[in-house]
Amino acid sequence: MTRLIRPWTLAAALALTIPAVLLGAPAAHADPISQTSGFYVNPNSSPASWVAANPGDGRAAAIRTQIAQRPMASWFGNWSGDIAGAVGGYVAAADAVDKLPLLVAYNIPGRDACGGHSGGGAGSVAAYDAWISSFASAIGNRPAVVVVEPDSLGDFSCMNQSQINDRVGMLSRAVAQFRSKAPNTWAYLDAGNPGWVNAQTMAQRLNTAGIGNARGFALNVSNYFTTGENTNYGGQVAAALRNYGHTKPFVIDTSRNGNGANGQWCNPAGRRIGTPTQLGGGAEMLLWLKTPGESDGNCGVGGGSSAGQFLPEVAYKMIYGY
């Protein structure tokens, strides 16, 4: 569709909010933000679908306005079926309304090696390479933001060296696919969170995993650390990356960090939604990457659930922080 360059541009929106060390970071792709009129709200997200199916529920109004109507990422993995069709359809729906879609690619072999609740992924290196190639091709020239493989660079302590070698190869090829096949996409390699891997080590892993072909890196995906804690950590990682010749911005998942972390990662009680998806805010973007109310697995306040299952009571309590 024909687009106009709008005032919702990266330079104008971020000039006063991104740390000076990150300004001027070279774009790996054309700017998808100036090509769209805002972030895409998925009308078929799990909270939106629950609200539509339960209009008389006393929790529905709050979940609708505070969660379902916010821009959030959609996750794609081995449950997505035909990945080209799934990604292509999602991006086309956003493109039709001139909005910027947020996507998470989550299908790497040995996924969630340390946590275990979201285990699975593609059956082989070759299967993953084909899957991510189809993912990138399905976006094509349309604008998008993609976070590549949450947990993948934090899980090394639960993997052997052969698995690590395979993984960094897959990640490196993945970001190269987005660069070549999706020229209006910003791809961010996942870089864990402030409580997982020290900044120097994470920078080394990002360099090995091909950060040079990515827009930048993503922090706090599905976790709870405050935006300030992530900004501090992200600045340290960015500084360490410059030792490898990279100047890269970062984005932060703020979907569940309104009350910060309590030392637990799997459906902890008392968490709260954070700043809604926006440009700037101490990072290149603050994004709702994990959907508030979707379970981390059979644990914590999500006992008896499976990873990714929408839990309305958890979502409702997360709105109010209890």
φ and ψ of 103, to 5 deg: -130, 150
Is residue 311 classed as helix, strand or coil in its secondary structure? coil
Length of the chain equals 322
Specify the amino acid at residue 318. M
How far is Cα 143 from Cα 94, in angstroms, rounded to an integer?
Answer: 9
Residues that constitute the known binding site: 75, 196, 223, 265, 290, 294
On the 0-12 / 13-18 / 19+ scale of CB atoms within 10 A, 303 is exposed
Alpha carbon distances (Å) from 173 to 106, 148, 176, 238, 303:
15, 11, 5, 22, 37
pLDDT in tens, 115-170: 888 888 999 999 999 999 999 999 999 999 999 999 999 999 999 999 999 999 99
In order of their start, the domains of the chain are 32-320 (3.20.20.40)
Residue 30 confidence (pLDDT): 79
| Bridge partners, residue 294, by sequence | 310
In tens, the pLDDT along 239-274 reads: 999 999 999 999 999 999 999 999 999 999 999 999
Do the Cβ atoms of 224 and 259 come closer than 8 Å? yes
* Residue pointed to by tokens 């805002």: 38
User: Catalytic amino acids?
Assistant: 151, 296
In whole angstroms, how large is the CA radius of gyration of the chain?
Answer: 18
- pTM, whole model, 2 decimals? 0.91
Annotated binding site for substrate: 75, 196, 223, 265, 290, 294
How many whole angstroms separate alpha carbon 249 and alpha carbon 270? 30
